[in-house]
Amino acid sequence: MKTYNVGLVGVGAVGTEMIKVLKERKFPCGKVQVFASRERDEVILGENYHILPATENSFGGMDIVLFAGKTDVAIQLKDAVVKAGAKMIDNSRAFRQDPTVPLVVPQVNAEDLDWNQGVIANPNCTTAIMLEAVAPLHKAKKLKRLIASTYQSASGAGAPGLEELENQFREYVEGKPLTVKAFQHQLMYNLIPHIDKFDPENWYTLEELKMRNEARKMLHAPELMLSCTSVRVPIARAHSESLNLEFEEDITPEEAREILSKSEGVRVVDDPLNGGYPMPLDAMGKYDVLAGRIRQDISRHDKKGLDMFVSGDQLLRGAALNAVEIAEHLIKRGLV
**Contact of 211 with 219, CB cutoff 8 Å:** no
**Contact of 269 with 277, CB cutoff 8 Å:** yes
Residue/partner pairs of 260-269 with CB below 8 Å, 24 or more apart: 260/133, 260/136, 260/137, 260/291, 260/294, 262/136, 263/107, 263/132, 263/133, 263/136, 264/107, 265/105, 265/107, 265/132, 265/289, 265/317, 266/132, 266/133, 266/136, 266/290, 266/291, 267/291, 268/292, 268/294
* Catalytic residue (one of 29, 50, 138, 239): 239
Give the integer Cα–Cα distance in Å for 267 and 151.
19
Give the integer Cα–Cα distance in Å for 181 and 168.
11
Q: Residue 127, SS3?
A: helix
- Nearest residue to 21 (alpha-carbon basis) of 3, 37, 44: 44
Which helix (H) or strand (E) segment holds residue 315: the answer is none
Report CA torsion sign: 135, 136, 142, 146: negative
Beta bridge partners of 289: 266
Q: What residues have CB less than 8 Å from 261, skipping those under 6 apart?
A: 268
* Catalytic residue (one of 125, 138, 228, 329): 125
- Catalytic-residue membership of 239: yes
Report CA torsion sign: 126, 128, 132, 138: positive
- End-to-end, the C-alpha distance of the chain in Å comes to 14
Beta bridge partners of 66: 8, 89
Catalytic residue IDs: 125, 239
